[in-house]
Amino acid sequence: MFKSFLIAGAMTICQAAIVQSIMAQDTPPAAAEAKSDGELIGYFLGFSVGQNMGQSGFKATDITMEAFLKGFQEGVALKEPAMTNEQFAAAQGKIQAMLTKRQAEMSAAQKAKGTKFLADNAKKEGVKTLEGGVQYKVLKAGNGATPKPTDTVSVHYTGKLIDGTVFDSSVQRGQPASFQVNQVIQGWQMALQKMKVGDKWMLYIPSDLAYGERGSAGAIGPNEVLVFEVELLGVQ
């Protein structure tokens, strides 16, 4: 049972990593030039799986490379594993415990970082706080209608992490976003129902009013405070 589970899991990791790497890289790395097909494929798969493991919380020091390569070679050769079912179960338990602990530590550190950011940000000129905890700063005032929860709105926005990393932007895509107010994260719902058409605000959204401890799609980690520049273009 554990053998089948391991093979299926490894295939899923490889496939996910390969797709992710293809999407993340527009051109192959310069180091891959003038190599044989075997070297190209080997490096690509190795880098992809390693990158996926790193993003999942693994460190290079967590594994013995000789054992990793031995397991890889025997797996590719479809040999019987040199581990018992009990050893497979023990390894999986250790991996889960290790990654769970690291996730909790990262989540706690990010929460503390976000709390400090919001406390400092609240003291800045022009920054106000809505009931519920969303902070905002008016960049441009409009005089149009204010949307209700069930209204569909058209907005332009740019979303960033507190370190300035852009994770999404309708402005960069050149296409406004349209959605129903009550179908987005709570922080947006709270702000949009206070905005008027023509308003442009900076929003500073606490993690519990955004994507919380789970984060979202790899770009947003656990307990991330999010910063948005939002312009309300229209209400349908």
As annotated, the active-site residues are 157, 167-168, 185, 211, 228
CA dist 201 → 35, 92, 226 (Å) = 51, 47, 13
Across-strand partners of 135?
129, 204
Secondary structure E strands in 27-100: none
Angstrom distance (rounded) from CA 89 to CA 169: 43
Q: Residue 214 corresponds to which tokens in the numbers above?
A: 């789970």
Q: Residue 211 corresponds to which tokens in the numbers above?
A: 């994507």
Angstrom distance (rounded) from CA 198 to CA 202: 13
Among residues 106, 91, 54, 90, which one has the least CA distance to residue 213? 106
Q: Residue 14 corresponds to which tokens in the numbers above?
A: 């490889």
Token look-up 């905890």 returns 133
